[in-house]
Amino acid sequence: MANVVIVGTQWGDEGKGKVVDLLTPEADLVVRFQGGNNAGHTLVVKGEKTVCHLIPSGILHSGKKCLIANGVVVDPQVLLEEIDMLNAKGIPVSSQNLCLSEKAHLIMPYHRALDQARETAKGAQKIGTTGRGIGPCYEDKVARTGIRAIDLTEPETLALKIKQNLEEKNFLLTQFLKTAPLSFQEIYDEYLCMGQMLKPYLCDVSFEIDQAITQGKKILFEGAQGTHLDIDHGTYPFVTSSNPVAGSACTGSGVGPNKLGHIMGILKAYCTRVGSGPFLTELLDETGDYIQKKGAEFGATTGRKRRCGWLDLVLARDSARLNGLTSLAITKLDVLSGLPKIKICVGYKQNGRDVYSSPASLNQLALCEPVYETLPGWQGELSAAKTWDQLPGSAQTFLKRIEEITGVPISIISVGPGREQTIVLREPFGK
């Protein structure tokens, strides 16, 4: 089947943007199906870096149609700024190559205000959100009080919903969180104006996808964040507010499960995590600093330094099961060059007992200790490698162990940030 779903297998920041950018030439449509602008995809093309937060990474390719689907929560201001940024870079964005689902929920100023005020109030117990209003927007979606993109085209509907929401939100902001209230008129005027600018982009994304499938076109589904930030399956409560797993491509874009084909999991050659939450293989030493600096591990959205650690294959096995992975794309293999020894976590031990998957209880997870295998490292740069045979033998051993332990074959190996710094072992679109 000529459709591919891209998902992260860790806590996000695995390098999904580069892989989507790499595969887009073979696709006709690129669909973003969940998350919000709390995610950022960093792309390096001909040495120039571009960061997309909402628009699918495929926008860098001419002749491709990019869809922001119903599962995404959209900050209209951020979307319009992103459109302007890309156009200023000479990357044309218009209603011809970008569509926004009429059913996508909108992030409102009160969502951002609540997000930031709640985190401040929690102090040391904060979750580590980006403060972009993602969680509160999803809350309103589930509470059936959300504002959708289509509401921007109906002034009376928009006004009514904002007024009703502000009654509750301003009470929470002023009485409970002790912050300033927000103005109805300012929000209404701003969103009505932005609605006029976004109106040409609105469409029925599910219908667009179905039409493309009927015509035999190839579709690339692009997820945000990673499996272990999934609201259901991640390290709750230190998770995101949506489902980054592959099944969310169906609910988040309006297609049936039989329309999904190749499920590719993006696995960084080591682990990183932004913000709070458990991290059993975290390195708080010189090796962790080496990986952090060499990998330039800073959040694309927040700029926060990422916590770094050894590759955790317990999490990778869980991701293979939760997503039904067809193949793996290994990213940032080049960052490990220069280390004399490389460790991989192949299991957990809890009071001498083997633990085969990540426990749901964070208290139980805290009692686990990683079981490591130590592999020889390799020297020299990998960025010039074009084939498997050009990789050092110890790098090949490292990759083979990933395949053996996860049970998932590797299809792509990234040895640098550029498009050309990639080794393709298997074509996910089935060429």
DSSP assignment of 264-333, as one string?
EEEEESSEEE-SSS--TTB--SHHHHHHHHHTT-B-TTT-PBPEEE-EEHHHHHHHHHHHT-SEEEEE-G
Q: Is residue 431 part of a domain?
A: no
79 and 174 both lie in a single domain: no
Q: How many domains does the chain have?
A: 2
Q: Are residues 265 and 402 in the same domain?
A: yes
Q: Are residues 318 and 417 in the same domain?
A: yes
- Contact assessment for residue 23 and residue 220, using Cβ atoms and an 8 Å cutoff: yes
* Alpha carbon separation from 401 to 92, 192, 233, 379, 382 (Å, rounded): 43, 55, 25, 19, 19
Query: What are the residue ranges of helices labelled H in 199-279?
Result: 205-214, 248-251
Backbone angles phi, psi at 7, to 5 degrees: -135, 150
Amino acid in the structure at residue 157: T
Question: Could you tell me if 182 and 219 lie in one domain?
Answer: no
For 296, the domain range is: 3-95+204-424
How do beta strands 307-309 and 353-355 pair? unpaired
- 304 with 193, same domain: the answer is no
Q: Which of 131, 165, 200 is the last residue of a domain?
A: 200
- The predicted structure's pLDDT at residue 1: 54
* 45 and 193 assigned to the same domain: no
> Of 200, 232, 253, which one is at a domain's C-terminal end?
200
Q: What residues act catalytically? A: 13, 41
- In a shared domain, residues 242 and 350: yes
Do residue 253 and residue 312 come from a single domain?
A: yes
The pLDDT assigned to 260 comes to 94
pLDDT at res. 39: 67
84 within domain boundaries: yes
What is the predicted pLDDT for the residue at 302? 66
Q: Which residues of the chain have pLDDT under 70?
A: 1, 39-41, 45-46, 124-125, 127-128, 300-302, 431
Task: Using the 3D structure, point to which of 200, 224, 252 is the last residue of a domain.
Answer: 200
Q: Give the CATH number for residue 164.
A: 1.10.300.10
Residue 329's alpha-carbon distances to 80, 152, 383, 390, 403, in angstroms, are 31, 39, 16, 18, 11
Residue 429 domain-assigned (yes or no): no
Domain presence at residue 379: yes
In a domain, 356, yes or no: yes
**Coil, helix or strand for 414?**
strand
pLDDT, one tens digit per residue, over 64-81 is 999 999 999 999 999 999
Can you give the pTM of this predicted structure? Answer: 0.93
Alpha helices in 104-245 (DSSP H): 109-122, 134-142, 155-171, 184-198, 205-214
**276 and 226 within one domain:** yes
Is residue 289, in this structure, part of any structural domain at all?
A: yes
Say yes or no: 117 and 129 in one domain.
Answer: yes
Residues 297 and 221 in one domain: yes
DSSP-derived 3-state class of residue 222: strand
Indicate whether 340 and 365 sit together in one domain: yes
User: Which pLDDT value is given to residue 121?
Assistant: 83
Given CA atoms 143, 147, 150, 156 in this order, what sign does their dihedral have? positive
pLDDT (0 to 100) of residue 128:
65
Q: Does 283 fall in a domain?
A: yes
Task: Give the domain CATH number at 382.
Answer: 3.90.170.10
Domain-located, residue 430 = no
